[in-house]
Amino acid sequence: MEDHLAFERSYWGDCCNTFDEDQKHYIYAKYMGLSIVNYSFNVLGSSVLDIGGGPSSMLLKCINLKRGMVWDPITYPQWTVDRYQSKSIDVTVAGGEIMYESGWDEVWLYNCLQHVEDPSIILFNAVRSAKILRIFEWVDVPAHDGHPHTLTKESLDGWIGKEGSVVTLATQGCYGNAYHGVFYQ
């Protein structure tokens, strides 16, 4: 697992230029059923747990966020933590496989599960943590460095226990097949 974390840590570098991922957030948001208002995501007073949010979580772009938390296994520069704290977003540095959270309105997973140790455990933990699961994950991508899992619609449907949708994208850094859905528990 450490090899995958090292790959991801290297991808982010010093975390100063996150545009590559930030621009994708608006594509993800559309397929995660989020309301976009003036380049912000209006979460209407919800509490949101972002699993795998990294140093530049979509939570940073939220308005009307009641409570937020980023749960990610990598330690990023302190200034990224300070930025989260300035927006009243908590940070937990740990793998989602050991997460035991409850009472959240929503859990968000986006471009995360290819990078983890066990996607089935993370989805189990996500589903039990909130009333709503919003997800956007790349599927049908062969495993490669930093991405030890090939996710499929069938595997994600099975782990979630509900049926999501797949769309093929070719825009703003988003290329390939993406699984998405909003699942109410």
> To the nearest whole percent, how much of the chain has pLDDT over 70?
99
Q: Cα–chain-centroid distance for residue 20?
A: 15
Report the pLDDT value the prediction gives residue 1, as an integer from 0 to 100. Answer: 53
Q: What is the CATH number of the domain that holds 143?
A: 3.40.50.150
Q: Domain tally for the chain?
A: 1
Report the pLDDT value the prediction gives residue 2, as an integer from 0 to 100. Answer: 64
CA distance 121 to 100: 11
> Could you tell me the pTM of the whole model?
0.95
> To the nearest whole percent, how much of the chain has pLDDT over 90?
88
Least confident of 140-149, 155-164, 172-181: 140-149
Tell me which of 146 and 40 has the higher pLDDT.
Answer: 40
CA distance 25 to 32: 10
DSSP β-bridge partners for residue 168:
177
Report the pLDDT value the prediction gives residue 6, as an integer from 0 to 100. Answer: 82
Report the pLDDT value the prediction gives residue 7, as an integer from 0 to 100. Answer: 82
Q: Is the pLDDT of residue 59 over 90?
A: yes
Where do we find the tokens 């993800």? 28
Classify 21 as helix, strand or coil: helix
Classify 32 as helix, strand or coil: coil
Helices 119-129, 153-160: crossing angle, 10 deg rounding: 40
Output the six-digit token pair for 149: 């899992």
User: Which DSSP category does 9 fall into?
Assistant: H
Surface-to-core class of residue 18, CB atoms within 10 Å of its CB (0-12 exposed, 13-18 middle, 19+ buried): middle
* Mean pLDDT computed over 127-153: 94
Segments forming the whole domain that contains residue 78: 2-184
Give the contacts of 143 (CB within 8 A, at least 6 positions apart): 114, 149, 150
Report the pLDDT value the prediction gives residue 43, as an integer from 0 to 100. Answer: 98
